[in-house]
Amino acid sequence: MEKKDLITDELLSHFKNGEELFDFLGEIQKRGVEKLLESELDVHLDYKKHGVSANTNARNGHTSKTINSRFGETTIKVPRDRDSTFEPIVVPKRHNVIDGIEKVIISLYSRGMSNTDIENQILDIYDIKVSPTSISRITDAVNEDIIAWQNRPLDPIYMVVWMDGVVFKVREGSKVINRTIYLAIGLKRDGVREVMGLWLGRSESASFWLGVLTDMKSRGVQDIMITATDNLKGFTDAITSVFPQSKTQICVVHQIRNACKYVAWKERRDFSNDMKPIYNAPNEEAARMALNDLSRKWKDKYPYAIKGWENNWDNLTTFLEFPVEIRKIVYTTNLIENLNGQVRKYTRNKMSFPTDTAVMKSVFLAIKEATKKWTKPIKNWGVIYGQFNIIFEDRLKNS
């Protein structure tokens, strides 16, 4: 049967201007919501209005509720049941914002806007007054999403996992203290990146990372081919205690920065140029020779700058075991640092957070915003995956 066009020219001709049409659409929405609520109660009671109930519960009149939408503020009738067990879905209890406005509020919050800024923005765009308390309630609903996301199952195998921490200021009583958000990004077998989770701790430590790695394993991770981290003391031991077969790579860029801290400003450029032959070497033997050259030239003057290379040598040169394509993605934690930068951008308006929950909520939403385009494999994934299959043939074949 041919579908009848409900919006006819004759109907539209009754409206003198856009304002009248807007008011009409608002009334249509109001009646539609009320009808949906009645239908929901029908299902809840298992009988239609004016029908016969098969149980003791029954309709019990209506209550009035003011809701906000893009059509402004309006009052609707919400049906009640005698046992007060009816939980509306289209307009849940304690909710008064509908029609996508909640999604807009969450999106603005994820971009770092304060509750007051969001209140003003919604008022300017939609001419709707939404209180800061309502905004907090709406964004607090994200906490359930965080719990579900943080406990979701992970893949059994990851090609590379990058790990790093980001420090935020959180108010605790009358003090402002540091909190560290621990982040892990995994490269899956299909070449797509995913944030495996975020964890909140007081300060970055190897012992906390041990807990993070244990959590990953409990959520299904069986093996990690390569990990890329900073040179936090004890981090490598924590990784190998949970994933003993994993190749561990300390970020070379972090090492370069740390070494330069011990070098006088006027000589940093020369020192940096002398470090390049180490990480640009074709193999570990050539890299060792380059380190010896660096040591002969600078060790007497800057012993601590050289000591960092020597103490972490095995984990700094792991990447040299691999083909160039794999080296490029594992020798540095730039990928996760770029994500950290995006999170900082979205949270820069918040000098400090009132609670641990608030910082988790903001970082979670910022990550969701920053990783929207993480849907395709990384560049040259076909070549890289082929190399992984050759190097880790037994571990990938048996997984």
The predicted-structure confidence for 255-279, as pLDDT tens digits, reads as follows 999 999 999 999 999 999 999 999 9
The pLDDT of residue 119 is: 79
Average pLDDT, the chain: 84
What token pair was written down for 376?
A: 């395709």
Angle between helices 252-260 and 303-311 (to 10 degrees): 160
The pLDDT of residue 320 is: 96
The pLDDT of residue 255 is: 94
For the stretch 287-293, contacts whose Cβ atoms lie closer than 8 Å and that sit 24 or more positions apart, written own/partner, are 287/317, 287/320, 288/313
Is pLDDT larger for residue 317 or for residue 230? 317
CA distance 141 to 127: 24
pLDDT in tens, 84-107: 888 776 566 666 555 556 667 777
Pairing of strands 157-172, 223-229: parallel
What average pLDDT does this structure show over 300-328?
95
The model's pTM is 0.71
What average pLDDT does this structure show over 109-136?
72
Cβ neighbourhood burial of 190 (10 Å; 0-12, 13-18, 19+): exposed
The pLDDT of residue 1 is: 43
CA distance 192 to 384: 12
The pLDDT of residue 318 is: 96
The pLDDT of residue 62 is: 87
What average pLDDT does this structure show over 379-398?
93
φ, ψ (nearest 5 deg) of residue 388? -60, -40
What average pLDDT does this structure show over 229-244?
91
pLDDT in tens, 174-220: 888 999 999 999 999 999 999 999 999 877 888 999 999 999 999 99
The pLDDT of residue 380 is: 93
Residue 240 has pLDDT above 70, yes or no: yes
The pLDDT of residue 301 is: 95
The pLDDT of residue 237 is: 92
Please report where in the chains the tokens 């203290």 appear, as a residue: 177
pLDDT in tens, 29-82: 667 667 767 877 877 777 665 555 556 788 888 888 776 665 666 787 888 888
Across 117-126, 134-143, 227-236, 271-280, which has the greatest mean pLDDT? 271-280
Share of the chain above pLDDT 90, in %: 45
What token pair was written down for 383?
A: 């070549």
Residue 286 has pLDDT above 60, yes or no: yes
Residue 323 has pLDDT above 50, yes or no: yes
What average pLDDT does this structure show over 275-296?
96
Share of the chain above pLDDT 70, in %: 81
**Are residues 256 and 236 in contact, defined by beta-carbon separation less than 8 angstroms?**
no
CB-based contacts of 200: which residues, under 8 Å, 6+ apart?
A: 179, 180, 181, 182, 356, 359, 360
Nearest Cα residue to 192 out of 375, 359, 9, 3: 375
**Are residues 248 and 318 in contact, defined by beta-carbon separation less than 8 angstroms?**
yes
pLDDT in tens, 129-163: 777 777 777 777 778 888 899 999 999 999 999 99
pLDDT in tens, 327-356: 999 998 888 888 888 888 877 767 778 888
